[in-house]
Structure 1
Amino acid sequence: MPLNPQAYRPEQTILSLGDAFYDPVEAAPFRETRLRFRNDRAAREVGLDALTDEEWIAHFGRFAPLPGTLPGPLALRYHGHQFRVYNPEIGDGRGFTFAQLRNRDGRLMDLGTKGSGQTPWSRFGDGRLTLKGGVREILASEMVEALGVPTSRSFSLIETGEQLYRNDEPSPTRSAVLVRLSHGHIRIGSFQRLAYLREDEALRRLVGYSLRALYGEDSDDPLRLLDLVLTRTATLAARYMAAGFVHGVLNSDNINITGESFDYGPWRFAPTWDPAFTAAYFDQNGLYAFGRQPEAIHWDVMQLAAALRPLAESEPLIALLESFGERYQPAITDALLWRLGRKPIDPASDRALVQAIERGLRASGVGIDRFFFDAFAQPLPEGYGAPWDEARAALDRYAPRAPRTHAYWRGEAPCSMLIDEVEAIWARIAENDDWSALDVKVAQIREMADALRLVEDR
């Protein structure tokens, strides 16, 4: 197979944890394998972009092992709070970790699946993914990546030729297997499981693995791990808010300890700055509403701290947890200033600007994407009236980080990803097998990403 030895760097790091952390599994024998999406931009970063389509399907549809990495798929074991109810019966129920590689920056990356078949943790599920679910994950991951959210990336989508029955989609519906590229698959729930089972030595080993493999630190200190996770997750919460993104299911088994967003199910983008906006129809109490996401993520990190209690005293764990707000505030100002294309001034001014923008967005009902498009690296247009007087005066003090020169800014409307467009893209696929709208949308998102990245990288 055509692999670049300078770019392709296989790993087997997860095997050092031992077989108490995972179960060897096999992929389902799919009826067919039709390649629908391959992310060559991501593949280039791990030396896999030169694969032919046939080779791609062999590895990411039939899961032939990649050279030098894991000999077979591994379904990871974990527990977690789901809508704040503890569940010890979960784990990788329709996915597995298939390979580990280093990217061009030396970071350890996993290739993991969604929809690859049943595992010991499937319970009553079929282990499959709907094609619509795969399309939605492509759209979500591409969009949040463009908007500066640390995220897993949709690497491959292959249609598998089965008819699936789901309560929340018209059935029967088409099936697919998705592959994600992620910076690890260790979740808060991975630690919760070991604490629940009172496997203290395994818990200590997982702490050391996480620090060394995912943070590059030669340490076994649980307090250091919690410190790092708090910063990463506070940043994740801030980036969600600045992107106007609602994940929908921020359970502790869906929080990666690297602070990387993943597992896109009932997600949505909020049309306006409405703290009560929810993504999941089953989130009837708004636990994971747009404005409650920082609280939800903090609560999940509290469960990590509780899981680490066998290895550390309560007082320093609590002291670290109480610093979440101190970490979130600079993260949200940084995220909003980045999306605005502005240079920071000082913490007090930056905080006041964020508050003025939030008040303007809530009072005016202006679309989130519309506002950031109009305000990027330039004064607010004249059409923004009285609700924006405070924010306008504050923004006028901020210098742009880059000129507004990219072709994207010459368009009349921002690139958005509201639910009506998601459904329209899917309808063309479902009704006419027409993938052109998805291709066009991904290209538009990447154009926006290029425009935003003209501002200095964070």
Structure 2
Amino acid sequence: MPVTELYRPETLHEGLGEPFFDRVEPAAFPEHRLRYRNQRWAARVGLDALSDAEWIEHLGRFSPLPGGLAHPLALRYHGHQFRVYNSDLGDGRGFLFAQLRDAKDGRLLDLGTKGSGQTPWSRRGDGRLTLKGGVREILATEMLEALGVDTSKTFSLIETGEALMRGDEPSPTRSSVLVRLSHSHIRIGTFQRLAFHDDAAAIERLLDHVCRYYFPAIADLPAPERALAFLEEVTARVARLGAGYMASGFVHGVLNSDNINVTGESFDYGPWRFAPVYDPTFTAAYFDESGLYAFGRQPGALGWNLSRLAECLIPLIGLKTAEKVLATFPTRIQQEFRAALLNRLGLASAGEEADAALAKAFVDFLTMTQAPFERTFFDWRGGLASAGRAKHSPSAAHYEAEAFTPLHAALAEHQPAPTARLDHPYFQRSAPCTMLIDEVEALWAAIAERDDWTPLYAKIAAIDEMRSAYE
């Protein structure tokens, strides 16, 4: 198999032992049509030299990678789903297929699947993924990565030739199997399952594993201090994730505790959407009737999930200590939002007070005017250095309104950052790259109606240009 010298396989999750997973077999699909392979990230893990046939063999039929896991592992976890505890969860249509190292920074990475067949946790599900679901996950992960949000990467999408029945898509619909590259698939719900079974020894074993392989700087601390440092680290990372969502206008849609991993990386995309304007009530999931996971309620949802993780650690750190850490979350996410906002605008920090004023003025302006979300970031990349370009924007009338005055004053306090890259071709475009629901549906319609993948690949190329501009 032509792996490159950068390929470094691992089998570390197996070391946790049988109570943490079930060994499973992948589904046998009637056909395999490679629709997407992420060459950029394949190069980072030494798999870019695979031929398409070899790629399908390993990422569609799931023949083990050399030196990797001999059998796929369906991971066990519980979780709160829309605030209701579910003890009948686990990998129901996916598994951990392989672990390897990132050649750039040595991080441990997982290759996990979606739509790879039934497992002991499938319940009444067929263990499959619709092709539309796979296409939507490509678009979500590519866009979020370009916008600087820590996200899983869609590594592979293969159409598998089955007709699936679904209640939320015209059926029968086409099937696929997806592979995601992610820093970790250990979730808050992984800890919840062990707490549910009152298995303190397993919690300590999991904590030791997580710290050793994902947070090595705290791995050698004594147990209570290590548990505290772990909760602090996860809190900081989840705050960064939530701030990234808010600065990108992204609505995940299903922020259940089984969808929050301990490395603070966004993953598992279902009914996601990008908000066209700044609307705290904007929801992604048609079934989220109460707006629990609406755009503006995402920080609170993430904080609530962190509380569930803290509950699992109370025997190690105590209630008061856990509450003290959780109390830092609102401040952390505000700080991270300011940093994310500056990053998106390509501005250097002007100090805590000025940065806070900019964040407030920006949100107030978007809220009052309902100016297009992504367009506003695009027009004011580099702050007032882009005033001439913004003057000719379709949103120019918004910028001439009284509501813009406080934002103009706040922008005047900030200088372009060295990373602003205003000369990049992306910022010479007439419009930003966006990912609104009508665009997503149009991309899918070309595939569904004509089997035309050209618009999708063109969109991925446009996102890639945006990523290089923001990188």
State whether TM-score is above 0.5: yes
Please name the residue that 1:214 is paired with: 214
How far apart in 1 are the matches of 2:251 and 2:75? 26
How far apart in 2 are the matches of 1:49 and 1:261? 24
Deviation at 1:378, TM superposition (A): 3.9
Matched, 1:333 2:338: yes
Moved more, 268-277 or 370-379: 370-379
Equivalent of residue 403 in structure 2, options 384, 387, 393 = 387
- Residues 133-178 of structure 1 show CA distances to partners (whole Å, capped at 9, x for unaligned) of 0000000000000001000000000000000000000000000000
In the alignment, residue 67 of structure 1 is paired with which amino acid?
P
Deviation at 1:120, TM superposition (A): 0.2
Please name the residue that 1:236 is paired with: 241
On the 8 A contact 2:157/2:176 being kept in 1, the answer is yes
Deviation at 1:214, TM superposition (A): 1.2
Aligned partner of residue 78 in structure 1, secondary structure: coil
Equivalent of residue 415 in structure 2, options 399, 408, 411 = 399
How far apart in 1 are the matches of 2:129 and 2:465? 29
How far apart in 2 are the matches of 1:343 and 1:378? 10
Cα 1:37–1:337, aligned 2, differ >3 Å: closer, same or farther?
same
Please name the residue that 1:58 is paired with: 57
Please name the residue that 1:438 is paired with: 456
On the 8 A contact 2:133/2:270 being kept in 1, the answer is yes
Aligned partner of residue 238 in structure 2, secondary structure: helix
Aligned partner of residue 16 in structure 1, secondary structure: helix
Equivalent of residue 359 in structure 1, options 357, 364, 369 = 364
On the 8 A contact 1:149/1:239 being kept in 2, the answer is yes
Please name the residue that 1:133 is paired with: 133
Once the two structures are superposed, the pairs formed by residues 45-444 of structure 1 within 5 Å of their partners are: 45-104=44-103, 105-217=105-217, 218-219=219-220, 220=223, 221-379=226-384, 380=387, 381-382=390-391, 383=396, 384-385=399-400, 386-401=402-417, 402-444=420-462
Deviation at 1:69, TM superposition (A): 1.1
Aligned partner of residue 113 in structure 1, secondary structure: strand
Q: Which runs of 5+ in 2 are unaligned?
A: none
On the 8 A contact 2:354/2:413 being kept in 1, the answer is no
Deviation at 1:312, TM superposition (A): 2.4
Number of equivalences: 452
- Residues 308-362 of structure 1 show CA distances to partners (whole Å, capped at 9, x for unaligned) of 1232211111110111012112100000000000000111110111000000001
How far apart in 1 are the matches of 2:201 and 2:163? 44
- Residues 278-304 of structure 1 show CA distances to partners (whole Å, capped at 9, x for unaligned) of 000000110000001010000000000
Once the two structures are superposed, the pairs formed by residues 23-34 of structure 1 within 5 Å of their partners are: 23-34=22-33
How far apart in 1 are the matches of 2:142 and 2:131? 17
Moved more, 9-18 or 81-90: 9-18
In the alignment, residue 141 of structure 2 is paired with which amino acid?
S
Q: Normalising by structure 1, report the TM-score.
A: 0.98
Moved more, 102-111 or 322-331: 322-331
How far apart in 1 are the matches of 2:122 and 2:229? 34
How far apart in 2 are the matches of 1:112 and 1:275? 32
How far apart in 1 are the matches of 2:62 and 2:187? 24
In the alignment, residue 14 of structure 2 is paired with which amino acid?
L
On the 8 A contact 2:279/2:296 being kept in 1, the answer is yes
How far apart in 1 are the matches of 2:316 and 2:91? 26
In the alignment, residue 138 of structure 1 is paired with which amino acid?
I
How far apart in 1 are the matches of 2:328 and 2:410? 28
On the 8 A contact 1:200/1:311 being kept in 2, the answer is no
How far apart in 2 are the matches of 1:296 and 1:335? 19
How far apart in 1 are the matches of 2:78 and 2:361? 41
In the alignment, residue 167 of structure 2 is paired with which amino acid?
N
How far apart in 1 are the matches of 2:358 and 2:22? 50
Please name the residue that 1:456 is paired with: none
Deviation at 1:365, TM superposition (A): 0.9
Please name the residue that 1:42 is paired with: 41
On the 8 A contact 2:421/2:469 being kept in 1, the answer is no
Deviation at 1:403, TM superposition (A): 4.0
On the 8 A contact 2:118/2:126 being kept in 1, the answer is yes
Aligned partner of residue 430 in structure 1, secondary structure: helix
Matched, 1:448 2:466: yes
On the 8 A contact 2:251/2:274 being kept in 1, the answer is yes
How far apart in 2 are the matches of 1:392 and 1:435? 42
On the 8 A contact 2:33/2:158 being kept in 1, the answer is yes
What stretches of structure 1 move > 6 A for 4+ residues in a row? none
Deviation at 1:16, TM superposition (A): 1.2
How far apart in 2 are the matches of 1:34 and 1:17? 35
Q: Which runs of 5+ in 1 are unaligned?
A: 454-458
On the 8 A contact 2:100/2:108 being kept in 1, the answer is yes
How far apart in 1 are the matches of 2:274 and 2:21? 34
Aligned partner of residue 262 in structure 2, secondary structure: coil
On the 8 A contact 1:101/1:110 being kept in 2, the answer is yes
Query: What is the percent sequence identity of the aligned residues?
Result: 58
